[in-house]
Structures are given as structure tokens and as C-alpha cells.
Structure 1
């Protein structure tokens, strides 16, 4: 355990001393904070259209939503205000119009003005609790993007670190002092700590942004799903990190990393896109919430919308843990059998049977 933690500290220290890593992490957190604040402020602001109207027209539209009425003496003054750019449009009484009003604009009618003046029928929803499809998409996109970016960023870093140690022969010195599996475990643990640090930072700024913009209802809904997402993210990241380290050990040059890590990349990308594209398909989402590479995204999304029974996240987590144990065992074997093989790429069959 002491040797494993020493390797993990080495991985963490090298990243924290990297200026590019620190700057990119800060930029990511600031972007997340700006996105939450912008979304909250824009959602809380009601868009208004500034219009000129004589007294009789103003009385007719005073209850119309989203209109800021500027008084005008008559139609001629209202048209003058439009031409001068003081208002976006004018509304005047017109007995010949079916609605009794006419909208006057310079070149085009402001968006939403005609809709605000239109007579709309009464709407009765049979399913008042139906979810907004746009909200579902953004929740799936948010969870998916965070996991995808963390897995790809740190996974590629682990693979590059393994190949660099092989190229410089540093690995020969390392494994003369510690077992190969300890080296693998330290790399995975160190990068997992860094990835979880980023996730917790993003959660913190999201909470701050939601509180500042008074989106308490959304914050309450995100509570339990975010906790589950953190748990699933932890084991899902360990799963992918072990695979990236193992496949990185199969080559001896940085230029060849893509040839072995490509399949792992597809294993992370495919579930990410499937969960986003089929976020409104209950059958697909149920299946993907039990697939190890997509469970960290699929299950929290279902929990957020209350579509999963109480036992489902526990079963999904058990499947993910069993997958982690199996994949780590396979990854450790590949890593051990490939780490000291220099030159040509090690074939998967040879790495598993050597």
C-alpha cells in the first residue's frame, strides 16, 4: 500500500506541476460556472418588446405579456417613434383588422409580438407531470459530457505516461523496486484522485451557480442523482483507466498509442452518444444503465427523472463493481506481460497468454 501510494503521489504531483493541466482545469471550472450563471439569469429574465401605442390601443393591449408600452398621441406620432428607432414597433386601433389592431414595424415584426397579441385557445394537459424534452436532453448531455471528458482526458494521459516510461527505460528502474501491479495500481489511483477532484470542483461551482441564480428547485432535484453520479463515476473511471494503462503498455512509441487505445476510446464514446441520442427512450436507457461503460451516465439520468426503482442503482453498481474486478484483472495481466516488451506492438493474444 505504501508503494502504491508513492506511485499515486508521483502521478498527482506531476499533474499539479504541469502548467497546462492547472490552467485547463481552471478554465473548465470557470466555463461551467459561467454556463450555470448564464442559464439561470437568462431563464429568470422576461424578454420585453418596446412598442408605441395611442391611448385607445394601449388600453387594449395593456394586459398582453412581454410588452413595454410607450404612450403616443396618435398614429402619426407612433409611426415617427418607430422610424426614429425609439421603439421596436407600434400598435394602433384598426376597425378593418380582424383583431381590431394593426402592428406597424420598420422592416420586420419583432419576434413574439404577434404571438403576444394573438388570441390563444385554452390548453388542458392530460399529463401535467410530463417532462420537458429539452430538460431531459440537457441533463443527459451534462452527465455524459463530464464523464466523457474526464475519461478521455485522464485515460489518454495514463496511456501516454506508460509509453513515456517505456521509451525512457524508467520503467525498468521502477519495477526493479516495486511490483508491476503496484505500479499500475498507483497510476490508476493517482489519476482517479485527480479526476474526482475535477468532478467535485464542477459540482461545487454548479451548486454555487444554482444558489446565486435562485434555482433551488433544480438544485433539490439534482441532489441524489449527483451523489449517485459521483459513485458511478468513481468505479467507471477506474474501469476505463485500467484499460488505458494496459493498452498503453502494448506499444513502445507515442505515435502508436492510438492503435491500441482506439478500441477503449470507442467503448467510452459509443455509450456516451447512445445515452444522449436515446435519452427519451425508456428501453434503451434501462439497458444502458446496466452496461458498465454507460452506467455512470445512464443510471443518474434515470434517477434524476424518477424512472428507476430504489433497487436498480444498487444492482447497476454491483454489475459495475464486478466488471471492474474482471477488467482490472485482465488489464493487470496485459500490463505485466507488455511493459518490458520493446519494439513492435504487442498483440493482445500474446499479452494475455505470455
Structure 2
């Protein structure tokens, strides 16, 4: 049979059209959309259902301002009395209060941890101005400047950061989860596709017309395109969710990291994709995939749980480890001030690992794809002679 021109492109097109008609693929995409939308919307709902915001104050004047803000806005701010500024800072840092209103040389200062809700800040500004004007108006012969004296409110953040803590946690977990579920889902589909072709003997027909390595490259390319398309759809849903919940300011932080995430995603996806194809070529029936795909599952599962639950120092190390870096580095870039050389080094290491893993996977795929009759192990596959 005559070899086709650019056979890997034809195989990629076949993979794409087949998956677009697959109910499993469509269902997994819907599940991913629901998970990501929940990760976007839940933090906003939590922030909106925590009861009245607590404002720390250290004197009666502060109490009066907070009470005025509560009356004016109807938001029901709760006054928390503390002894002094250090106590107020501790209350803010520990998350016991939303903010602190403290006397300043020119009025008041609002203390926040990583951010202060714009509604809270605006309400305190207006209340401080109203209370100050009421007090000053009781004095006779004051100029307009004197009438507004002591009503200026400035903003200070004790621990400024790119995102609020709760949002950072959800986004960090969300990025790792998107990569993990996408790589795992498509990986299993690649393995299942190879086994189906072996069981139906279709692979023998394809191998007669197409070089075996082209079969592998086509599967990897087609599924990479599908995975990226799925990510774009999920990103669009996330954008809609952020806009719908009035969290558009988060986009200013997330957008610069999006490009890095795409690079880490592609390299991190391609690296194990060839091994998933090998897992399918080692099997002779669907039931064999439980054992042949176990290494691929571990390659993804261990870094995922590590990137989500490990401490700060461990995450820093993981962000340079190939494949694990696809889950850890983008999250670090959202929550920390990461020097640009670090993601570049992580990408270089990931690229080198991807080349090595894909080359090894290609050799194993060539040796095992046409092996039938029984399931092969990885050690046995390595020992096989190249055809």
C-alpha cells in the first residue's frame, strides 16, 4: 500500500474528528467547565455570605465613623474595639476583621491585609467626611478648608499581594486541576484509542500505509490541539464567570500568567502523551489498561497533590521539576513575585525532559504496537529488539 503524504497530519485529523463525535470527550469538557466555573464563582459567593464586615477601631471617634457608615450604606458594619494600632494590625493580619479604621494626622487610615473591598473603603471615606463635617460645623467662623479638616482617609496594606488569599488558593488549585484532569483525560483516551485499533486490527491496516512513528506523532498532535481547544473554551467560561461576579480586577493579575500557562501546559501535556500511547500499545484489550496506564497516572497524580498541598519551599522545588512544573510554576507566578529567570529555567528543563520522554516513547511504541496475543510489561518492552 502506498505511503500517504504527511501521514501524521492525516492521523491528527482523524483523531480530532473522532473525538469531536465522542460523547465521553464532550462530557469531560462539560465537567471541566462546571468545575472551573465553580472555582471562579464560589470565592465570590463565600465573600458575599460571611455576615457583616468587622471593622477594628481604637477610639470613640472611630466607633462613630463606623456606625455612620453602617447607617448610611445599610451594610451593617460591625465595630470591633481593640487597644491600639499593633492590636488592630494583628486583627487584620489574622483575618479577624475586614479592615481597621485608625486615627491619622489628616483624618483616618484604613488598614487592610492584601486588599480592602472597594465598598468598605468608600463607605468609610464618606462616613469620615460626614462625621468630620458635622463636628467642624459646630465650630463658628471656620473656613471651608477648616470645615473639612480631619476627614481625609488614606489606604495602607500590611501585606500587599497580587490576589486576595482565598482567590489565590482557588486559582492556584484551579490551574493545577485543569492541567491534571485534561492531561489525565486525554491520556486515557489516547491509550483507549490505541487498544481499540489493536483489538479491531485497524492498526495493522494503518501500519501498512503509515509509518508507525507517524501514527504516534499524529495522535499526540491531534490530542494536543483538542486539549488546547478545551483550555480555550474553559478560559472563556472563566472570563464570563469573573465578569458576572464583578471580579474583573482579577484578570489584570491572571492575564500575564496565561501565556506562561499555555507554554507549560503544551510541554507538560506532550511529555507524557507518548507514554500514554505506549500504555495502549502494551495492552491487548481494554481490561489491560488498568495496569499499563498506572505509571502515567502516577506521573500526573503525585505532582498534582504535591502542587496543591505541599508547603511553600516544596512548591518552589516542584516548580522546576519537569511535568510537576506545569502545575506548580503558574500558581507560584500568581501568588509570588517570581523572577523571570525561574520560569525560563523551568521551561528549559521541561523541554529537555519532553524531548527525552517522547523519543523513548516513540521507540517503545514502534516495538510494541504490533505485538498481539498478550499484555506486555514495560521492562519486557524495553528489552524488545527494534523492528
- After superposition, the Cα gap between the structure-2 partners of 1:66 and 1:292, relative to the gap in structure 1 and judged at 3 Å, is farther
Measured in 1, the distance between the counterparts of 2:262 and 2:166 equals 24
For residues 307-335 of structure 1, the C-alpha deviation after alignment (integer angstroms, 9 at most, x for no partner) is: 32111111111111111110001001111
Structure 1 length-normalised TM: 0.76
Measured in 1, the distance between the counterparts of 2:303 and 2:268 equals 12
Per the alignment, residue 354 of structure 2 pairs with: 324
**Segments ≥4 residues shifted beyond 4 Å:** 44-49, 59-62, 64-70, 130-133
Aligned match for 2:283, one of 248, 251, 264 = 251
What is the root-mean-square deviation of aligned Cα atoms in Å? 3.0
Runs of 5+ in structure 1 lacking a partner?
50-58, 71-112
For residues 227-282 of structure 1, the C-alpha deviation after alignment (integer angstroms, 9 at most, x for no partner) is: 2111100111111211111122111011011111101101100000011001x41x
Q: Helix, strand or coil: the match of 2:282?
A: coil
Contact 2:224 2:269 in 1 (8 A): yes
Per the alignment, residue 74 of structure 1 pairs with: none
Moved more, 174-183 or 309-318: 309-318
Measured in 2, the distance between the counterparts of 1:297 and 1:66 equals 43
Q: How many residues align?
A: 301
Tell me by how many angstroms 1:349 deviates: 2.7
- After superposition, the Cα gap between the structure-2 partners of 1:291 and 1:239, relative to the gap in structure 1 and judged at 3 Å, is same
- After superposition, the Cα gap between the structure-2 partners of 1:66 and 1:233, relative to the gap in structure 1 and judged at 3 Å, is farther
Matches of residues 1-354 of structure 1 in structure 2 within 5 Å? 2-33=6-37, 35-37=39-41, 39-40=43-44, 43=47, 47=51, 63=67, 116=78, 118-121=80-83, 122=85, 123-124=88-89, 127-129=158-160, 133-278=165-310, 280-281=311-312, 283-353=313-383, 354=385
- After superposition, the Cα gap between the structure-2 partners of 1:64 and 1:157, relative to the gap in structure 1 and judged at 3 Å, is farther
Per the alignment, residue 102 of structure 2 pairs with: none
Moved more, 337-346 or 39-48: 39-48
- After superposition, the Cα gap between the structure-2 partners of 1:190 and 1:63, relative to the gap in structure 1 and judged at 3 Å, is same
Runs of 5+ in structure 2 lacking a partner?
54-62, 94-157
Moved more, 165-174 or 19-28: 19-28
Tell me by how many angstroms 1:210 deviates: 1.6
- After superposition, the Cα gap between the structure-2 partners of 1:65 and 1:138, relative to the gap in structure 1 and judged at 3 Å, is farther
Contact 1:165 1:171 in 2 (8 A): yes
Tell me by how many angstroms 1:128 deviates: 2.4
- After superposition, the Cα gap between the structure-2 partners of 1:62 and 1:264, relative to the gap in structure 1 and judged at 3 Å, is closer
Tell me by how many angstroms 1:220 deviates: 0.5
Measured in 1, the distance between the counterparts of 2:68 and 2:164 equals 25
